Structure 1
């Protein structure tokens, strides 16, 4: 795959599985939507137009094609404000067809985990995201090396098996 492929393109080309592992407690602290959430704004799940965004249509399209889309988040507890925000805005992802689970970090101690968040498409193509210490995305890279994709696939599955489904998880 060409290195310049975007997340959206990789998902559009995906045939079977797309898994996403998130391991940070903070992302993009300067996000205006996060600022609005901190100021008290909450999405109105009854007003789809207020929370629907193009990314969610990408998920719908993939799931409609038969792709299983799963996201696992490893979180410290008590959770950061940013993780509480992510928790609050996850229902649209679920409505789009994504499966989401949460794993408290204390339950991940004995798991071998990669050093970066990633997407893995069809078990063969990794999209690695690199973030600054403040949680801003710096860049991404695509990796197709079988040893690395296998490590990440195994790490994701280990997390997924222990993680709590979104509907059962309550942030501490």
Structure 2
């Protein structure tokens, strides 16, 4: 049986980016291991302290900050149902860390995305030449990544992201 080729990590992909990394998230909840304890703490009333950068989501903030310092434009757009889920409230409350790391973030209510052509999975596009799809199961669990350099798929993802971005509400203005 042939061995599956090891996918490069997100950090490796971002480290090779030359000018941009854009991310589109389209789920109302995620159940990924690395957020489990943070989400549970948030539900119990814990909130991140904006003045305690060392306590934020690591190593993500460091990786993003380093990329932005190299000149990479990092943008993230999230399509969300309203009223928002408890998970989206959690995500929104901690997004100030993404912004502090240098990401630009926008939110788009799902009802405003009905006429947009969107891929079936969340994705990152690096430098308009590589797409990394993030596959989740029905419960929001991580099922892995798929990479493609197919020009038609890249065009679809770029167009989808740009359409969502153009309609999206900047993080600082979006209220949950």
TM over 0.5: yes
Q: How many residues align?
A: 170
Structure 2 residue corresponding to 1:36, chosen from 38, 41, 58: 41
Structure 2 residue corresponding to 1:77, chosen from 70, 82, 93: 82
Structure 2: how far apart are the matches of 1:100 and 1:132? 25
Residue 47 of structure 1: CA displacement? 1.4
SS across alignment from 1:34: helix
Structure 2: how far apart are the matches of 1:103 and 1:146? 26
Residues 1:111 and 2:116 are matched in the alignment: yes
Q: How does 1:7-26 map to 2 (within 5 A)?
A: 7-26=10-29
Runs of 4+ in 1 over 4 A off after TM superposition: none
Structure 2: how far apart are the matches of 1:29 and 1:124? 27
Q: 1:112 to 1:3 in 2, by over 3 A?
A: farther
Structure 2 residue corresponding to 1:124, chosen from 106, 115, 129: 129
Unaligned regions of 5+ residues in structure 1, if any? none
> Conserved in 2, the CA contact under 8 Å of 1:100 and 1:165?
yes
CA RMSD of aligned residues (A): 1.2
SS across alignment from 2:138: coil
User: What TM-score does the superposition give when structure 2 sets the normalisation length?
Assistant: 0.93
SS across alignment from 2:98: helix
Residues 1:53 and 2:35 are matched in the alignment: no
Structure 2 residue corresponding to 1:99, chosen from 101, 104, 123: 104
